[in-house]
């Protein structure tokens, strides 16, 4: 980019940033109530006189402060503004936007509340004194943008004085992410940590913390040369030294950075732009590792580095280059784990646990949800992907448990976690309820498989060449939920698996329908089933070459336990072979259902995909199917038959919905079902209480049955697109055997969720058989 263009881009970014921060409400953080204060009673509980009760409890038992207040989920981000980003000593007032920014990252990535505190203090003693006084308020302290060497003393003394975690992110956050990147880079180029020669350029807080951490991981101290603006830090040097630099002084004749990098394996820069020249890079060993983390401009630009030495692995602090060393991968999850066990410190064991968790995560397959956050870029472990991306939601669920476990094992946890599976569910809920919901079902399926000695179900996937399907199967492989069977051209699918590097699927079963030994049997069987419905034998043979028909016949004849399709074609074409081959259960109607997660509620919408204008009898049967799904998910169904009127409509739809409610009540007198009613009446208990006290649904409906496909489909898609709730599905109901059709526009995560729900459906089929259909 030319200098003039670069200046224009920078100016445009400045303008956008100013508008972003100035728009109402100003700044980036708010304080919002976590409890309702809408009535006199609630006001009395929130403040006087009710608030006295928790005050007395805490006075008597100080540890209960974590039970009755936000302390256990509240972090102070504290700075004096003496070393802010690349801006230097701009003071506490000008540092406030950065501290607010840190606060929203804590909240966004780990659900942690933050107060930013900017201190107008002149000495280390004043800074420490204020922090000590704040200890009762917070569960932890994140020190930010404090100049060296003061930051070392401040952190050390606060760690000794306080019984809550104190963490200087500029030091340790950078060190943790850098160390994880170094582990993976060395793995890729096949170099051992205890053998690599490492050069640090920059000897401030971050560089010294990085050096300490990589030494604890295996890098030999004698293999490290540290440089600053005056050159190599060597034994006996007097100029610009302090006790922290002196620790890394080495006996060497090398004096300049150019001398230091000769025959080095690793360059770690936390200094200034363009100090590592192409000629210097050429003198490093083969397959060099270069972490050029100066901001905003790196020590050497990645493009120039790769042009100079093609096999170099480069990381920077910037998001517009691969391998960004971004502290947001660390501090939110690290504090999450520390807070959740009431840790007294964040020690070396916890930091190393975070390093290993991040390094291991980067080696796994990357979900589509991550790619979508980065303009559909495909990420795969290798020279250009050695660290997870900040918007990889798995970071929290991997790093926080690892940190918490390390805190427990190292003796600094005051409240150990006893069930890590439940803990991971809780973490998933910070990122949206859907992940936690699905994780809970995965755990439930695995528990039941073990308790009932169920063999893993064989699930057939007619679209064996769908990349989304393959990635979804691979993602769930380690969960050991099912045995996949892929349909399609064997060579094509094997080639695709190899190209996508789906190592878990090397031995997956693949069937080419036309070449399979059962092909003729399936043709004959299908012909016998359909010969009186206009299907000739030749047509039966043609249809059976279609993987959807072949897969449906496999399920019909119990060669597999379930079927999932729809990733590459429209819904109607996907469901037709299922209905023609397998058919519906005793209620004689198939329908689609979506699970909708809104705040703390689980709702079920039906029919959302199949029946254009169902009759009252159809709707009643759809309601029964949906209620059974709700019960299968441990939700007691409260069924609302929806329309545009409340109990009095004389038009066709209201009458139809009233009749459907009557039929369900006739079949199941103990069930809670009512209608017709408007949607707001159905989900808002206050409306029912004040206007319709006679209604059976007093606590809000959770099974919402729509009068036609228009309304059902529109409703769930509006919820999905407007962000009013999280939507799973659609899931197919009413078919004789377990089958599901995913949306062609769905993601890999959607396919994976459908696989999980299908495994649950297989268990229900094994347990109840025909009764569940």
Do 300 and 290 meet the contact criterion of CB atoms below 8 Å apart? yes
E strand or H helix at 33: none
- Residue corresponding to tokens 């094997």: 494
The structure tokens listed for 3 are: 């200098």
Beta bridge partners of 739: 563
Confirm whether 68 is a catalytic residue.
no
Do 261 and 289 meet the contact criterion of CB atoms below 8 Å apart? no
The structure tokens listed for 197 are: 């020669």
Q: What is the DSSP string of 326-376?
A: -GGGTHHHHHHHHHHTTBS---HHHHHHHHHHHHHHHTSPPPHHHHHHTTT
- Spell out where 91-223 has E strands: 113-118, 140-143, 166-168, 198-201
Confirm whether 47 is a catalytic residue.
yes
Polymer length in residues for the chain: 773
Cα 680 to Cα 540, 640, 672, 684, 701: the distances in Å are 49, 11, 17, 6, 10
Q: What is the DSSP string of 317-339?
A: S-TTSSSB--GGGTHHHHHHHHH
β-bridge pairing 562-565 and 739-741: parallel
β-bridge pairing 166-168 and 198-201: unpaired
Helix axes 348-362, 331-340, angle to 10 degrees: 130
Provide the greatest CA pair distance for the chain.
Answer: 99
Side-chain-side CA neighbours of residue 514 (13 Å): 8
The structure tokens listed for 61 are: 């038992």
Do 143 and 79 meet the contact criterion of CB atoms below 8 Å apart? yes
Cis amide bond preceding 140, omega within 30:
no
Q: For residue 145, how many other CB atoms are within 10 A of its CB? A: 27
Q: Sign of the C-alpha dihedral, residues 132, 133, 136, 142? A: negative
Do 687 and 701 meet the contact criterion of CB atoms below 8 Å apart? no
- Please tell me which residue in 47, 61, 538, 588 is annotated as part of the active site: 47
- Please tell me which residue in 28, 71, 96, 102 is annotated as part of the active site: 102
**Pairwise CA distance, residues 695 & 280, whole Å:** 80
**Pairwise CA distance, residues 450 & 458, whole Å:** 16
DSSP-derived letter for residue 712 is: H
Helices (H), 162-222: 169-189, 205-217
Do 173 and 268 meet the contact criterion of CB atoms below 8 Å apart? no
Do 485 and 561 meet the contact criterion of CB atoms below 8 Å apart? no
**Pairwise CA distance, residues 210 & 116, whole Å:** 26
- Residue corresponding to tokens 């308020």: 137
Do 51 and 115 meet the contact criterion of CB atoms below 8 Å apart? no
Q: Which is nearest to 113 in space by CA: 172, 171, 69, 68?
A: 69
Cis amide bond preceding 288, omega within 30:
no
Question: Which phi and psi angles does 101 have, rounded to 5°?
Answer: -60, -40
**Pairwise CA distance, residues 132 & 125, whole Å:** 11
**Pairwise CA distance, residues 609 & 434, whole Å:** 21
**Pairwise CA distance, residues 15 & 257, whole Å:** 38
Strand ranges across the sheet with 739-741: 509-511, 483-487, 458-461, 562-565, 739-741
SS3 721: helix
Q: For residue 716, how many other CB atoms are within 10 A of its CB? A: 27
**Residue positions annotated with a catalytic role:** 47, 102
């Amino acid at each position: 980019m030319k200098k003039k263009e670069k200046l224009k881009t920078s100016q445009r970014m400045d303008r956008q940033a100013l508008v972003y921060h100035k728009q109402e409400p100003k700044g980036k953080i708010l304080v919002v109530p976590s409890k309702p204060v809408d009535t006199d009673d609630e006001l009395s509980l929130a403040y006087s006189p009710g608030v006295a009760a928790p005050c007395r409890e805490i006075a008597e038992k100080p540890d209960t402060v974590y039970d009755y207040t936000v302390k256990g989920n509240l972090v102070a981000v504290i700075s004096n503004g003496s070393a802010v980003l690349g801006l230097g000593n701009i003071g506490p007032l000008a540092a406030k936007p950065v501290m607010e920014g840190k606060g929203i990252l804590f909240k966004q990535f780990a659900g942690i509340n933050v107060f930013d505190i900017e201190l107008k203090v002149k000495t280390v003693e004043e800074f420490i004194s204020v922090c000590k006084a704040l200890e009762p308020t917070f569960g932890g302290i994140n020190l930010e943008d404090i100049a060296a060497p003061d930051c070392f003393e401040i952190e050390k003394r606060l760690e000794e004085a306080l019984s809550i975690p104190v963490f200087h992110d500029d030091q340790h956050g950078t060190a943790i992410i850098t160390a994880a990147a170094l582990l993976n880079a060395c793995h890729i180029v096949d170099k051992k940590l205890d053998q690599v020669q490492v050069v640090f350029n920059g000897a401030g807080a971050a560089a010294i913390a990085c050096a300490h951490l990589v030494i604890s991981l295996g890098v030999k101290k004698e293999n490290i040369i540290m440089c600053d603006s005056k050159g190599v830090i060597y034994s006996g040097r007097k100029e610009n030294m302090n006790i922290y630099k002196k620790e890394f002084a080495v006996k060497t004749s090398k004096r300049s950075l150019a001398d230091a990098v000769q025959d080095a394996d690793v360059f770690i820069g936390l200094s200034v732009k363009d100090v590592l020249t192409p000629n210097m890079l050429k003198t490093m060993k083969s397959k060099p590792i270069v972490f050029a983390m100066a901001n905003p401009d790196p020590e050497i630009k990645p493009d120039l580095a790769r042009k100079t030495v093609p096999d170099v692995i480069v990381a920077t602090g910037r998001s517009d280059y691969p391998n960004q060393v971004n502290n947001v991968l660390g501090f939110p999850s690290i504090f999450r784990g520390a807070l959740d066990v009431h840790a007294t410190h964040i020690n070396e064991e916890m930091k190393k646990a975070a390093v290993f968790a991040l390094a291991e995560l980067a080696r796994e397959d990357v979900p589509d949800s991550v790619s979508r956050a980065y303009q559909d870029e495909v990420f795969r472990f290798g020279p250009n992907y050695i660290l997870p991306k900040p918007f990889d939601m798995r970071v929290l669920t991997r790093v926080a448990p690892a940190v918490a476990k390390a805190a427990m094992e190292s003796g600094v946890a005051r409240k150990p976690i006893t069930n890590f599976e439940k803990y991971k569910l809780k973490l998933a809920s910070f990122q949206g309820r859907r992940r936690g919901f699905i994780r809970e079902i995965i755990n439930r399926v695995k528990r039941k498989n073990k308790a009932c000695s169920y063999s893993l179900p064989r699930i057939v996937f007619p679209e064996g060449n769908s990349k989304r399907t393959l990635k979804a199967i691979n993602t769930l492989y380690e969960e050991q939920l099912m045995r996949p069977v892929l349909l399609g051209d064997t060579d094509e699918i094997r080639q695709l698996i190899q190209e996508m590097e789906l190592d878990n699927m090397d031995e997956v079963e693949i069937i080419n329908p036309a070449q399979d030994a059962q092909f003729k049997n399936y043709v004959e069987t299908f012909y016998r089933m359909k010969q009186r419905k206009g299907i000739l034998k030749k047509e039966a043979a043609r249809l059976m070459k279609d993987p959807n028909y072949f897969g449906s016949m496999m399920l019909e004849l119990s060669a597999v336990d379930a079927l999932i399709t729809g990733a590459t074609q429209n819904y109607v074409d996907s469901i037709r072979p299922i209905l023609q081959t397998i058919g519906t259960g005793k209620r004689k109607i198939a329908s689609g259902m979506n699970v909708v997660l809104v705040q703390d509620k689980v709702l079920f919408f039906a029919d959302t995909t199949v029946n254009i204008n169902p009759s009252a009898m159809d709707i009643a049967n759809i309601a029964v199917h949906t209620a059974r799904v709700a019960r299968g998910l441990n939700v007691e169904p409260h069924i609302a038959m929806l329309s545009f009127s409340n109990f009095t409509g004389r038009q066709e739809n209201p009458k139809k919905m009233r009749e459907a409610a009557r039929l369900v009540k006739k079949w199941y007198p103990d069930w809670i079902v009512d209608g017709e009613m408007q949607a707001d009446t159905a989900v808002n208990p206050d409306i029912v209480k004040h206007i319709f006290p006679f209604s059976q649904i007093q606590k809000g409906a959770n099974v919402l049955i729509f009068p036609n496909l228009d309304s059902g489909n529109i409703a769930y898609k509006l919820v999905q697109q407007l962000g009013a709730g999280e939507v799973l599905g659609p899931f197919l109901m009413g078919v004789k055997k377990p089958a599901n059709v995913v949306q062609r526009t769905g993601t890999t995560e959607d396919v994976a969720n459908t696989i999980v729900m299908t495994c649950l459906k297989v268990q229900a089929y094994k347990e109840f058989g025909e009764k569940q259909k």
